[in-house]
Structure 1
């Protein structure tokens, strides 16, 4: 083999290799011929004329994100930092405009974000900035779409991802929130205490009512028992006064017996003579008789006055 052909073969191989190039998925390559735009090569295996055509640049067609931090002042004179995330991509049909019309898309997008945020936020107080962050994001997207579409960029979405007020303002807001929460907690505790007091009073009232009802029932049964005892004694020839005396004396001795059975009792019954019950009954009968006489006299006097 003639060695003179080796350089020619090497040159030919290099020439062929320089003709072939590849473009990655979701990427576009700009081909220029003698410095003038020639064509746009999409993804795949592509060819160009060596020494005449060259790859001037490549643009990604994927969605990209740019984070812009803007510091501005609210309507109530609070300095705040907003982080705005812009998601954008190159429009496939407008690769030419994106490559040739705009050298630094990041700077262009950042400028528009600053302009919109500093126009919208000073119209709001700090609380509204937090509540209406979606409105700020929509305003940024609308302004960017209108401006960047001309340069071949499509704004997919804009998000206000962070709102950071001045440090002293955040501390004041935290103190206010803590005070509000303590106030609410105190109100709940007061309501709980009031409910407990009301329920306790209701329970005590119910207890007293049941206790009074029990005492009334007990006295009613005692009276019924005494009435039955008097009737039994009457049937055997003992009159009502004698029967009452007998019952009182019997109850007197029953009480003494029950006291004797209770070793730890501190109750003392005075007087405790056997005739004490009879004397008590005689006093009661005398009182009842006197009361009846007084009542009859008052009725008679009232009747004479009316006549």
Structure 2
């Protein structure tokens, strides 16, 4: 006995209706089921069943963390227009899936509105430099505002980040010029300090050189004086008195100097006087100057003593 076409159609239609009551829900998502137009329940991941025709899937929501980027343009306290990019990371609270689906028509628009409101309330209180330095404070204020408002609608806020701060192009150019000028100024200061250090080091080196040179000259003169003293002592031992010894030494030094000058054929120096009696004349002049200096010293000493006695009287 064969099946009539009507029976086959009914069986086929029944199988379709039966399978229409079976559905699956993906991982990290949820499906909301309505029965006769009214919310009936929420189905989680896995194989699920519903009554065909009577029940229907009203919608599916993702339970993953999502990100929304919001661009906001506002003005700072020093009247600089600036664009901020704010990234909001949010998710649907598992226990408030009903509120997230039914109470809020468009979550993106709602979050964007709160971000605009918070940014335009916080940034105008700051100068441009403060916006860059306190961007974390701005992000914290956005997150706090969103948590207070969006938790009621079934949304949790993971984090709010200010990812970009873009001032007006003219302001950026001015800032770049200021930074360049600051760097040039700093470089000039470093160069000036280096030059000062070089000058000081050179001056110290020259001072040390002159000190050592003066010390060398003093040592040289000291040795010359010691040599002369020893020469006089040697001459005294052989019966020559101090005056004769001094004359002999002066004459010897005079002729030694003439000999040293004569050894250099390219020398243009002329020693005046250069007569044979020059040594004796020089000794006489030196002796006369020593005597005169001694007499002046004695006179000044006598005047000092006299003035002291007059003041006491």
Structure 1 length as normaliser, TM-score?
A: 0.86
CA distance in 1, matches of 2:299, 2:62: 124
Name the CA distance, whole Å, in 2 between partners of 1:303 and 1:151. 112
Cα distance in 2 for partners of 1:297, 1:40 equals 128
**Is it true that 1:99 corresponds to 2:93 in the alignment?**
no
Q: How does 1:23-102 map to 2 (within 5 A)?
A: 23-102=25-104
Alpha-carbon distance in structure 2 between the residues aligned to 1:110 and 1:44: 33
- TM-superposed deviation, 1:278: 2.7
Which deviations, in whole Å up to 9, do the C-alpha atoms of 1:105-136 show, x marking residues without a partner?
00111111112222222233333322332222
The count of corresponding residues between Structure 1 and Structure 2 is 307
* Number of the residue aligned with 1:166: 168
Q: Are residue 222 (structure 1) and residue 229 (structure 2) matched?
A: no
Please give the per-residue CA displacement for 1:21-46, whole angstroms capped at 9, x wherever unaligned.
Answer: 22221111112223322221111222
CA deviation vs aligned residue, 1:184-229 (integer Å, no higher than 9, x gap): 3333333333333333323222222222111111111100000000
CA RMSD in angstroms, aligned pairs only: 3.0
Q: Secondary structure at the match of 2:27?
A: coil
CA offset at residue 178 of structure 1?
Answer: 2.9
Counterpart in 2 of 1:109?
111
In structure 2, the residue corresponding to 1:62 is in which secondary structure?
Answer: coil
- 2:281 is paired with a residue whose SS is helix
Mind listing any 5+ residue stretches in structure 2 that lack a counterpart?
none
Question: Offset at 1:163?
Answer: 1.9
Which residues in structure 2 correspond to 1:169-184 (within 5 Å)?
Answer: 169-184=171-186
Superposition pairs for residues 284-295 of structure 1, below 5 Å?
284-292=286-294
Distance 1:297 1:185 in 2: 66
Cα distance in 2, alignment partners of residues 135 and 254 from structure 1 = 92
Q: Distance in 1 between matches of 2:306 and 2:81?
A: 101
Judged with a 3 Å threshold, the aligned counterparts in structure 2 of structure 1 residues 300 and 71 are, in CA distance, closer, same or farther, namely closer
